[in-house]
C-alpha cells in the first residue's frame, strides 16, 4: 500500500499560527436626499469613522450637495458622489435599478422620503438587501399626514429588512400612521461621544463674551422647519438687555431672519455665526440651549448641548421631552412664541437652576445615549446580524 505523503507548511513546522484570510470589507450603498452638513449626514460620518475599515461605503447625494464629505476619515474607503435624478419617474427608476445592480452592494441604505424612489426601484427589480432610515419629515407632513406618501412608503418598504427610526414618536407614526409592519420598525436612538464636548477649547473663541451677559444659543441649519423666527420673537419678548442670542448655522433663511431681528429691535443682540464645523465651539459659549423647530425627532444638537452641560429650553416636538433629564422637562413647552419665551425667561433669571440642570443633563446623556451602543447597532444592521 502506498504511504500517504503529508506536506507541512513552514508556519506549521515552526509552530507559528496559520494566518487567517482577512474578510473583504462589506460594501454599503447609502442614498440620501442630500449630503450637505446636517444632523443625519454628520451622524453618518461619525458612524462610518467609528466602524473603520470593516466596511466600505458609497454615498449618493440626490441634491448634488456633498459639503459633508470632508467629515470622513481620509484613510477609509468612502466615495461620495452626486446622483441628481433626471427625467420622468420611469426613467429615474430605471437609472436607480441600473446603479444598484452595477454597484452590487452588500446592503442598500436609503434615508428619508427623499430616497423613497430608490427603495421602490430596489423592491421592484434590483433586489439588494435593504434597510431604510427615517429621521423625520418636513413641515408639509408635520401637522397632517399625506395619505399618498403613506401608501408609497408601504409599497416601497415592503421587503426592507428594517425601517430604522431614532425616536419613539416616529416609531408610533411609522406603525400607526404609515402602517408599516411593527416587526420591522426598529427603534435605534442616536448616541453621542461626549468626550469632544468636555475637552477644553483651543483657539480664538467664536465671539467674545460680555461681562454679565447671558447667551441663549442654538445650532441649526437656517431652514423654514427650524422656525428660528419663533426663537427671535421669544428673545424679543424677554426685553432684557443682558441677553444675547447666538445662532450657529447657515442657509436660505438667513437674510429673512436678519431682517426680522431688525424689525423686532434686537439686531444688536443677535449673532449669526454662520456654519460652525465643530458645534462644541459654539455650545461652550452658551448659557442656555434653545430649540424652536416645528418638526424634530431626536435632534443631535440637543444631545450635544446636554453633553456640554447646558439646560434646554425647547418646544415639545418629537422625543425632546424624553431626551432631557427629568428635571429639565418643565422647560420643554407647547409650541409657541410665548411659551418658549416663558421657559427662556425662567432660566435666564436663575443661574443656580441653569447650572444644576446642565449637570443633570450631562449625566443623563452619558448614561442613556452612549455612542458605542449606537455604533454597534449600526454594525449589526449593516452586517444583517440580529
pTM, two decimal places: 0.84
CA 201 – CA 349 distance, rounded (Å): 27
Mind listing the pLDDT tens digit for each residue in 252-278?
999 999 999 999 999 999 999 999 989
What string of DSSP letters covers 71-130?
GS-TTS-EEEEE----SSHHHHHHHHHHHHHHH--SEEEEESGGGHHHHHHIIIII---E
329: helix, coil or strand?
Answer: helix
Contact in structure between 230 and 315 (CB atoms under 8 Å): yes
CA 230 – CA 333 distance, rounded (Å): 13
Mind listing the pLDDT tens digit for each residue in 230-246?
999 999 999 888 999 99
In the CATH scheme, what is the code of domain 26-191+371-383? Answer: 3.40.50.2000
Name the CA radius of gyration of the chain, rounded: 24
In the CATH scheme, what is the code of domain 194-368? Answer: 3.40.50.2000
Q: How far is CA 53 from the centre of its chain?
A: 22
Contact in structure between 86 and 95 (CB atoms under 8 Å): yes
Query: Could you give the angle at which helices 337-348 and 351-368 cross, rounded to 10 degrees?
Result: 110
Mind listing the pLDDT tens digit for each residue in 91-104?
999 999 999 999 99
Contact in structure between 171 and 185 (CB atoms under 8 Å): yes
Domain boundaries, the chain: 26-191+371-383, 194-368
Identical fold at 26-191+371-383 and 194-368? yes
Top mean pLDDT of 21-25, 125-129, 232-236 is at 232-236
Whether the pLDDT of residue 222 is over 80: the answer is yes
| Least reliable range by pLDDT among 163-167, 174-178, 332-336 | 174-178
In this predicted structure, what is the pLDDT of residue 285? 96
Query: Beta partners for 131?
Result: 109, 162
In this predicted structure, what is the pLDDT of residue 8? 34
Sheet holding 332-333, edge to edge: 270-274, 243-248, 214-219, 288-291, 312-315, 332-333
Beta strand ranges found along the chain (DSSP E): 26-32, 55-61, 78-82, 107-111, 130-133, 162-165, 185-187, 214-219, 243-248, 270-274, 288-291, 312-315, 332-333
CA 235 – CA 216 distance, rounded (Å): 9
CA-wise closest residue to 250 among 38, 25, 16: 38
Whether the pLDDT of residue 226 is over 90: the answer is yes
pLDDT band at residue 296 using 50, 70 and 90 as cut-offs: very high
pLDDT band at residue 38 using 50, 70 and 90 as cut-offs: confident
Whether the pLDDT of residue 143 is over 80: the answer is no
H or E, element range at 262: helix 254-263
Instruction: State phi, psi for 108 to the nearest 5 degrees.
Output: -95, 125
Whether the pLDDT of residue 320 is over 90: the answer is yes
pLDDT band at residue 150 using 50, 70 and 90 as cut-offs: confident
Longest dimension (CA), the chain: 104
In this predicted structure, what is the pLDDT of residue 9? 38
pLDDT band at residue 137 using 50, 70 and 90 as cut-offs: confident
Mind listing the pLDDT tens digit for each residue in 182-212?
999 999 999 999 988 988 878 889 999 989 9
174: helix, coil or strand?
Answer: helix
For 167, the grid coordinates are: 425616536
Under DSSP, the state recorded for 173 is I
In this predicted structure, what is the pLDDT of residue 223? 92
pLDDT band at residue 138 using 50, 70 and 90 as cut-offs: low
Instruction: State phi, psi for 123 to the nearest 5 degrees.
Output: -65, -40
CA 260 – CA 288 distance, rounded (Å): 22
Q: What is the mean pLDDT of residues 20-30?
A: 80
Instruction: State phi, psi for 220 to the nearest 5 degrees.
Output: -165, 145
Q: What are the CA-CA distances from residue 257 to residues 102, 251, 264 (Å)?
A: 45, 10, 10
**More confident of the two residues 136 and 238:** 238
Whether the pLDDT of residue 321 is over 50: the answer is yes
Q: What is the dihedral of CA 328, 334, 337, 340, to 10 degrees?
A: -10
In this predicted structure, what is the pLDDT of residue 198? 86
Q: What are the CA-CA distances from residue 208 to residues 211, 279, 283, 310 (Å)?
A: 10, 16, 13, 19
Whether the pLDDT of residue 5 is over 50: the answer is no
Burial class (CB in 10 A: 0-12, 13-18, 19+), 202: exposed
In this predicted structure, what is the pLDDT of residue 13? 41
For 184, the grid coordinates are: 420591522
Contact in structure between 252 and 223 (CB atoms under 8 Å): yes
Whether the pLDDT of residue 20 is over 80: the answer is no
Q: What is the mean pLDDT of residues 281-293?
A: 97
Q: What is the mean pLDDT of residues 361-367?
A: 96
In this predicted structure, what is the pLDDT of residue 385? 85
Whether the pLDDT of residue 7 is over 50: the answer is no
In this predicted structure, what is the pLDDT of residue 24? 79
Q: How far is CA 153 from the centre of its chain?
A: 21
In this predicted structure, what is the pLDDT of residue 192? 94
In this predicted structure, what is the pLDDT of residue 266? 96
59: helix, coil or strand?
Answer: strand
CA 190 – CA 369 distance, rounded (Å): 7
Amino acid at each position: 500500500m502506498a504511504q500517504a505523503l503529508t506536506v507541512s507548511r513552514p508556519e506549521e513546522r515552526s509552530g507559528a499560527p496559520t494566518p487567517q484570510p482577512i474578510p473583504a470589507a462589506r460594501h454599503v450603498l447609502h442614498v440620501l436626499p442630500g449630503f450637505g452638513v446636517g444632523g443625519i449626514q454628520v451622524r453618518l460620518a461619525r458612524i462610518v469613522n467609528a466602524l473603520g475599515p470593516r466596511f466600505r461605503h458609497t454615498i449618493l447625494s440626490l441634491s448634488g450637495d456633498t459639503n459633508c464629505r470632508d467629515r470622513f476619515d481620509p484613510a477609509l474607503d468612502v466615495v461620495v458622489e452626486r446622483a441628481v435624478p433626471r427625467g420622468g419617474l420611469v426613467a429615474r427608476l430605471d437609472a436607480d435599478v441600473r446603479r444598484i445592480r452595477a454597484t452590487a452592494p452588500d446592503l442598500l441604505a436609503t434615508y428619508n422620503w427623499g430616497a423613497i424612489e430608490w427603495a421602490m426601484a430596489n423592491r421592484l427589480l434590483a433586489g439588494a438587501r435593504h434597510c431604510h432610515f427615517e429621521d423625520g419629515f418636513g413641515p408639509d407632513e408635520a401637522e397632517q399626514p399625506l395619505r399618498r406618501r403613506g401608501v408609497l412608503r408601504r409599497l416601497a418598504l415592503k421587503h426592507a429588512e428594517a425601517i430604522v427610526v431614532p425616536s419613539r414618536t416616529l416609531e408610533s407614526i411609522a406603525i400607526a400612521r404609515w402602517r408599516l409592519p411593527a416587526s420591522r420598525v426598529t427603534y435605534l436612538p442616536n448616541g453621542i461621544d461626549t468626550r469632544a464636548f468636555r475637552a477644553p477649547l483651543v483657539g480664538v473663541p467664536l465671539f467674545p463674551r460680555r461681562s454679565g451677559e447671558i447667551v441663549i444659543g442654538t445650532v441649526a441649519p437656517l431652514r423654514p422647519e427650524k422656525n428660528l423666527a419663533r426663537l427671535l420673537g421669544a428673545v424679543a419678548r424677554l426685553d432684557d438687555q443682558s441677553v444675547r442670542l447666538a445662532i450657529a448655522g447657515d442657509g436660505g433663511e438667513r437674510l429673512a431672519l436678519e431682517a426680522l431681528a431688525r424689525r423686532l429691535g434686537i439686531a444688536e443682540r443677535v449673532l449669526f455665526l454662520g456654519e460652525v464645523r465643530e458645534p462644541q465651539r459654539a455650545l461652550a459659549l452658551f448659557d442656555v440651549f434653545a430649540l424652536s423647530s416645528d418638526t424634530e425627532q431626536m435632534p443631535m444638537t440637543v444631545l450635544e448641548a446636554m453633553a456640554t452641560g447646558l439646560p434646554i429650553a425647547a418646544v415639545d416636538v418629537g422625543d425632546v421631552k424624553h431626551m432631557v433629564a427629568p428635571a429639565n422637562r418643565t422647560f420643554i413647552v407647547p409650541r409657541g412664541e410665548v411659551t418658549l419665551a416663558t421657559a427662556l425667561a425662567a432660566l435666564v433669571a436663575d443661574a443656580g437652576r441653569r447650572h444644576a440642570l446642565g449637570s443633570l443633563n450631562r449625566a443623563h446623556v452619558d448614561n442613556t445615549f452612549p455612542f458605542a451602543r449606537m455604533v454597534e447597532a449600526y454594525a449589526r444592521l449593516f452586517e444583517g446580524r440580529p
